[in-house]
Chains A and B, each alone.
Chain A
Amino acid sequence: GQQVMQIPQYQHVQEGEDFTTYCNSSTTLSNIQWYKQRPGGHPVFLIQLVKSGEVKKQKRLTFQFGEAKKNSSLHITATQTTDVGTYFCAGNSGNTPLVFGKGTRLSVIA
């Protein structure tokens, strides 16, 4: 079945440093979604990418979808303490449910 791998599992950064998490699928995806889960909270949708090579920005967050639609990345510029949490990518194709990566837990040291 479809697998979505995400690295790194953990990332500790100093406040102000940049952060990137990477997502790779075993199959071609029709879309990739990113979710954020704050400590003790539930996953919250951030963004969806559907086009090959697509790049979207949300303030300090930049999301990319690979040309082959099998990989994606989330980059945060100048991290802040409010960025703390676990970031999940999730994708699917055809008439199948979303498959989530295992997530990257981000810690920001002030």
Chain B
Amino acid sequence: NAGVTQTPKFRVLKTGQSMTLLCAQDMNHEYMYWYRQDPGMGLRLIHYSVGEGTTAKGEVPDGYNVSRLKKQNFLLGLESAAPSQTSVYFCASSYRLERVTQYFGPGTRLLVL
């Protein structure tokens, strides 16, 4: 049982480049989330998904796209990276939206130059 895994662990991009972050969970959870964590800002929700084929915007969705083609995977895309997107990105999953634990992946550290 790997729980929630994220790839890559670390990436450096140049401004304007694109990339996709992959999150996978093996707990059969319906709900998956992408957060970004910046110093002093806590965890801010980017996008989330309530099930396969669904996505919804969170608090800070601009500049990101997501897809949930398979229940176990949730992809976060940056089409044209900007220095403001330098952050640590965490994926999480849960079996429902409310009153349940969220399980977090180990994070992806992204640096945009």
Contact = CB atoms under 8 A, between A and B. Distances in A.
A43 B48 CA distance: 17
Instruction: Say whether chain B's binding surface is mostly helix, strand, loop, or mixed.
Output: loop
Interface in A35-75: 41-45, 48, 50
Interface in A66-97: 88, 90, 92-97
Given A42-B106, A97-B48, A98-B102, A9 B97 contact: no
Nearest to B92: A43
Interface size class of A (residues with CB under 8 A): 20 to 34
Secondary structure class of chain A's binding surface, majority of residues: loop
A97 B96 CA distance: 10
B41 A43 contact: no
Contacts, number: 58
B105 A103 contact: no
Contacts of A93: 98
Interface in B22-45: 33, 35, 40-45
Contacts of A43: 43, 90, 92, 102, 104
Interface of A: 1, 6, 9, 30-31, 33, 41-45, 48, 50, 88, 90, 92-103
Given A48-B100, A97-B97, A100-B42, 17 more contacts: A30-B98, A41-B106, A42-B90, A43-B43, A45-B101, A50-B99, A88-B43, A92-B97, A94-B98, A95-B98, A97-B33, A97-B45, A97-B48, A98-B102, A99-B45, A100-B44, A103-B43
